[in-house]
């Protein structure tokens, strides 16, 4: 049988994990020259929240150069931050490991174009392009820059 290169491989730990993956799935991000396929999902799982908190605590650049540590100190601070109108996208590997994280602030003054914040974490190495991840996220999110440009052209 020929190898199907467009297949996505995700190692679900349970039926509910597989259902959650299917429900949140947005797109595939292929890493050139490696045949690695990563998944872009809308939202974030409990396990991925734990990974996000761990990355934030362990990465000195994130702690010192961003405000992430203020928001991602604990699950409580993360959930409080999320409730303030965030739309979250995650980039995961085949085992569900969090490799990237992007978010939009839903609560913006009228007329302002929403720009996402993107983080690519060290387990992804230098193979993952934040630009490709951002492209996928912008295509899905209705308030993004790309969507706003398309709406203006239609007028």
Give the pTM.
0.81
- For the stretch 118-154, pLDDT in tens is 898 887 777 777 888 988 998 898 765 544 443 333 3
138 alpha-carbon distance from chain centroid = 11
d(CA 86, CA 88): 6
The structure tokens 């467009």 sit at: 6
- For the stretch 67-108, pLDDT in tens is 899 999 999 999 999 998 899 999 998 889 999 999 988 766
Domains of the chain: 15-154 (3.40.630)
């Amino acid at each position: 049988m020929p190898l199907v290169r467009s297949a996505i491989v995700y190692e679900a730990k349970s039926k509910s994990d597989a259902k959650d993956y299917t429900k949140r799935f947005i797109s595939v991000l292929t890493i050139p020259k490696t045949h690695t396929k990563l998944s872009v999902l809308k939202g974030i799982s409990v396990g991925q929240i734990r990974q996000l908190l761990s990355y934030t605590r362990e990465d000195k650049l994130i702690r010192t150069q961003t405000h992430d540590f203020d928001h991602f100190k604990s699950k409580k601070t993360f959930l409080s931050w999320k409730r303030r109108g965030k739309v979250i996208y995650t980039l995961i590997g085949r085992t569900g490991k969090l490799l990237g994280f992007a978010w939009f602030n839903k609560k913006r003054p009228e007329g302002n174009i929403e720009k996402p914040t993107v983080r690519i974490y060290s387990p992804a190495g230098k193979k993952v392009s934040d630009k490709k991840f951002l492209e996928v996220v912008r295509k899905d999110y209705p308030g993004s820059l790309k969507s706003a440009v398309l709406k203006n052209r239609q007028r």
